[in-house]
Amino acid sequence: MINQEILDLVKYHKIKLSEEEYNIYSKQIILEQIGTEGQKKLKETKILVVGAGGLGCPTMMYLAISGVGYIGIVDQDQIETSNLNRQILYNKSYIGKEKTSSAKSQLNNINENCKIITHVCKLSRENNVELISRYDIVIDTTDNFNTRHIIDTTCYKLHKIYIYGAVREFEGQIAVFNYKNGIRYKDLYKRELNKIQNTCNSRGIMGITTGYTGTLQAIEVIKIILGVNKKCKNFILSYNLIEMIVKKQLLYLTRTTKNKNYKKYILLSSTNTLNYSTSNIKLIIDLRDKKAFNIKHIEKSINIPIIKFKLKQTINFINKFKSVGEIMLYCNTKERSLIASKFLIKHSIKHEIKLYSNLTKNRNLKKSKTLLK
């Protein structure tokens, strides 16, 4: 069987960059992560942007100016005066015109070699497969829960990567869904939940928020195209631009005790990467076996049985929480706690030990799932 990397090399060898393109992209081609082959990958990739508004404009601008070869735009709206504070592809002369044709005109001014395909419609259950199947990566720049669930379901069926983004006032959220069998939008928001639709009209928004979020979405797309930082990213990145707080919410794969084949993602914790004044979060590790843990345990604690402490992945996982706050080990036997403590000391991970009986007096007890398998 021919190696896939060899096939990719043959494929990108056939793609040609013009002399003008070499001149335009010379400053990024010299980057180690890009090079000539990376620039060819960008030129070959087909991106679908669902929504040509506040998020879509900066996303499309940076993709086009980076040399992405094909950008499809799905939108059926016309430009209004109130759009101009954040939808930076448009100006007063475009008011009343279709967003798709206006965006195409502006993007062609940025990069005439980028093929812009317009779809003047709303993504629906009738056209979702036809539209999404033509592209490699789908970027969600909408503000509609139903549309997001359509994107999620369709990308899952067609094995397409889904780049999610959402904004509210000065807050934003991005995530990479359906990447290497990773998390999906439905793992974050269930379809059956009674969700309140937050729109720019009802909550207000500034261009700095949509610009920041759209830029982050474009960055994730480029990283995926180039194969930079290939590790599956099962997390949601949330931030507040006023407070300068960034949180990474991890979602870890677990299994139910009833059906071992049923996979489920659960939200684990938030890591504050900018505002260290809130670094008082504790990681509480329950060392008992899974059966005892499921019967009764401290709320928000996680179960890592003592037998797992000899695994490298366990230490790597705990090591990520060094800067988060106090790491606590607890168990109903001192022996197990001391054994686990020795592993953490060996890897210079600060922690403390508490016995189970000393902690359960003033804490809520709940059922949950083992996180490390």
pLDDT band at 322 (very low <50, low <70, confident <90, very high): low
Residues 97, 205, single domain; the answer is: yes
Q: Is the pLDDT of residue 223 over 70?
A: yes
- pLDDT tens column, 90-104: 999 999 999 999 999
Higher pLDDT, 275 or 258: 258
The domain in which residue 172 lies consists of: 45-242
Q: Does 17 fall in a domain?
A: no
| 62 and 180 fall within a common domain | yes
Tell me which of 127-136, 237-246, 260-269 is least confident. Answer: 260-269
pLDDT > 90 in the chain, percent:
50
| 226 and 312 co-located in one domain | no
What's the CATH code of the domain at 294? 3.40.250.10
Q: Given 198, 216, 242, which residue is the final one in a domain?
A: 242
Q: Residue 368 — very low, low, confident or very high, per pLDDT cuts 50/70/90? A: very low
Q: Report the domain count for the chain.
A: 2
- Which span out of 40-44, 167-171, 203-207, 254-258 was modeled with the highest average pLDDT? 40-44
* Domain end call among 242, 269, 304: 242
* pTM listed for this prediction: 0.67
Instruction: Specify the pLDDT at position 195.
Output: 52
Domain boundary among 216, 242, 268: 242
Q: Are 110 and 159 part of one and the same domain?
A: yes
SS3 letters across the chain: CCCHHHHHHHHHHCCCCCHHHHHHCHHHHCCCCCHHHHHHHHHHCEEEEECCCCCHHHHHHHHHHHCCCEEEEECCCECCHHHCCCCCCCCHHHCCCEHHHHHHHHHHHHCCCCEEEEECCCCCCCCHHHHHCCCCEEEECCCCHHHHHHHHHHHHHHCCEEEEEEEEECEEEEEEECCCCCCCHHHHCCCCCCCCCCCHHHHCECHHHHHHHHHHHHHHHHHHHHCCCCCCCCEEEEEECCCCEEEEEEEEEEECCCCCCCEEEEEEEEEECCCHHHCCCCEEEECCCHHHHHHCCECCCEECCHHHHHCHHHHHHHHCCCCCCCEEEEECCHHHHHHHHHHHHHCCCCCEEEEHHHHCCCCCECCCCCCCC
Please give the residue that has the higher pLDDT: either 69 or 339: 69
**Is 214 domain-assigned?**
yes
Indicate if 217 and 315 belong to the same structural domain. no
Q: Residues 236, 88: one domain? A: yes
171 falls within a domain: yes
Confidence of residue 181 (pLDDT cuts 50, 70, 90): confident
User: Does 172 fall in a domain?
Assistant: yes
Average pLDDT over residues 123-136: 96
Same-domain status, 157 and 214? yes
Residue 238 and residue 108 in one domain: yes
Identify which has the larger pLDDT, 366 or 112: 112
pLDDT category of residue 115 using cuts at 50, 70 and 90: very high
Residues 55 and 150 in one domain: yes
Residue 368 lies in a domain: no
Lowest mean pLDDT among 9-18, 149-158, 198-207, 260-269: 260-269
pLDDT band at 362 (very low <50, low <70, confident <90, very high): very low
pLDDT-derived band at 256 (thresholds 50, 70, 90) equals: very low
What pLDDT is recorded for position 93?
A: 96
